[in-house]
Amino acid sequence: MTKATNIAPDDQSYWAIVRRQFRKNRSAVWSLRLLALLFLIGMSADFIANEKPYYCVINGKSYFPVLKGAGVDLGIARWPTELSNVTWRELKYEKVIWAPIPYYPTNLDKKNTDFVSPMAHQDVPSAHWKHYLGTDNLGRDVLSGMIHGTRIAMLVGVISMSVALIIGLFFGSLAGYFGDTKLKTTWAGIILNLFFLFFAFYYAFAARSYTLSDAIAVSFFGFLMQFFISLIIFILVMTIPYFISGFLRTRSYGGAEVEVPVDILISRMIEIIESVPSFLLILSIVAIVEKPSIYIVMVIIGLTRWTGIARYVRGELLKVRSLEYVEAAQALGFPERRIILRHTLPNSLTSVLISVSFGVASAILTESGLSFLGIGVPPEQVTWGSMLSLARGVPQAWWVAIFPGFAIFITVTIFNLIGDGLTDALDPRLKQ
């Protein structure tokens, strides 16, 4: 007699098997939990470490400064006149509830400058105002910098790899699906696309460069809005040659169709980018930016880290494009865009997840290296790398080096362990 299985049919799906395999790796599971904790700390940094109170009553009026400050940072709110440019610590409150760590990373405690140790005597009004991890040379609270640096590290990983993922999926899918023979167009179509590509880039990004730079200097939310507008302009301009090419093709004005060697062109472009050391390429791009910003650094890291993702996607699509369900979709006359987005690409993302996991760790290390060198990051921006840079030449200030260095080590290790766990879980030889 055969033994009855207790596994439901839904648990036999591919991703259910991957989840079971991933849970067997205890180090990867605990790394995922620690990563969730880091994301929680990063996203709630303003509520953990802030010189503004949660709630206060001034002259009979109730305020929620932390929430208001978050809205101001996003560019969707403004401070009332009576609270603009105030020193929150010196105001007189009728009622007040402070954050657990009543310091912002840029606050200067002039009574505790020149690297005050966590164990040394600190000139503070009460135990609540103690610097639990000490201060740096300017009197800035190290613990507050660590917490807000967590948010910077998480944003660097997410935003930079999101940019790399979008670019890598686009070029990788084109190279893998079309190869060198499947994409055909007319010479008129090629010339039109190149012509309008120049104008699309110019009107969407070059002509709006000052608007984008001013927006990123004010708030990240405002920059996202302006970047979204530029993206819409780019897409709208690039739709023009599509309709013109279709008009010419229906009237046989475009000439004979020619094969576009997409795979060769994209592969050579990838090789050119990978032949230049990525750190040197990032340094070169950052050096020509007028207004340094951590968000510009994130985008630049993403623009230089998409090649690995593109290679993975290309390799997967070279295998998938010849399978029966793709040939069936082609026989039914589905558009190439639909076949790529709905059939081939979703079935080729397993190896991309591993690449993204290791890429996030690499992006955090790159940003920390740039911050350590003081390149591309505003001087007032506190990151783990900039805190490490302060410890150079001051060996007695061990706390300024150990805590940020340990945070970088732990975060990078977490992402590497998650990547190892995904590698094992997605390995078909282990799905027994």
Is-contact 66 50, C-beta < 8 A?
Answer: yes
Position 249 scores a pLDDT of 60
Which of 259, 279, 314 is at the close of a domain? Answer: 259
Q: Tell which residue, 300, 320, 314, 411, has the closest CA to residue 355.
A: 314
Alpha-carbon gap, residue 180 to 176, rounded angstroms:
9
Identify the sign of the CA torsion 147, 354, 263, 338: negative
Which of 218, 241, 259 is at the close of a domain? Answer: 259
Q: Are residues 343 and 216 in the same domain?
A: no
Alpha-carbon gap, residue 153 to 10, rounded angstroms:
37
Distance from chain centroid for Cα 22: 24
Exposure on the CB side of residue 376, measured as CA atoms within 13 A: 28
Cα–Cα separations (whole angstroms), residue 231 to 205, 227, 298, 309, 425: 8, 6, 18, 22, 37
Q: Are residues 79 and 189 in the same domain?
A: no
Q: Could you tell me the residue range of the domain that residue 85 belongs to?
A: 52-98
Q: What angle do CA 337, 342, 346 make, to 5 degrees?
A: 120
The residues, ordered by sequence, that sit 6+ positions from 181 with a Cβ below 8 Å of its Cβ are 259
How many domains are contained in the chain? 3
Q: Are residues 306 and 396 in the same domain?
A: yes
Residue 5 included in any domain:
no
Is-contact 387 142, C-beta < 8 A?
Answer: yes
Alpha-carbon gap, residue 39 to 138, rounded angstroms:
28
What type of residue sits at position 327? E
Q: Tell which residue, 153, 150, 147, 152, has the closest CA to residue 131.
A: 147
Residue 1 included in any domain:
no
The residue assigned the tokens 């699309």 is 200
Phi-psi region of 291 (alpha: psi -120 to 50; beta: other; left: phi over 0): beta
Q: Are residues 249 and 348 in the same domain?
A: no
Alpha-carbon gap, residue 138 to 120, rounded angstroms:
16
Query: Which value, to the nearest 10 degrees, does the dihedral of the CA atoms of residues 16, 18, 19, 20 take?
Result: 90
Q: What is the pLDDT along the chain (432 residues), one digit of tens a residue?
A: 444 445 555 566 667 877 888 888 899 999 999 999 999 999 999 899 999 999 999 888 899 999 888 888 776 788 888 888 888 888 888 999 999 999 999 888 889 888 999 988 898 888 888 999 999 988 999 999 999 999 999 999 988 998 899 899 989 988 888 888 877 777 777 788 888 888 888 888 888 877 877 776 666 667 778 888 888 998 888 888 777 766 666 555 555 677 778 889 999 999 988 888 878 877 777 777 767 778 888 888 888 889 989 998 998 888 888 888 888 888 888 888 888 888 888 877 777 888 888 889 999 998 888 888 887 778 788 899 989 988 887 888 899 999 999 999 999 999 999 988 888 887 655 555
Alpha-carbon gap, residue 87 to 95, rounded angstroms:
16
Q: Tell which residue, 359, 378, 363, has the closest CA to residue 408.
A: 363
Q: Are residues 171 and 63 in the same domain?
A: no
Alpha-carbon gap, residue 344 to 335, rounded angstroms:
13
Q: Are residues 63 and 38 in the same domain?
A: no
Q: Are residues 57 and 196 in the same domain?
A: no
Which of 218, 240, 259 is at the close of a domain? Answer: 259
Residue 320 included in any domain:
yes
Query: Which value, to the nearest 10 degrees, does the dihedral of the CA atoms of residues 281, 282, 285, 289 take?
Result: -170
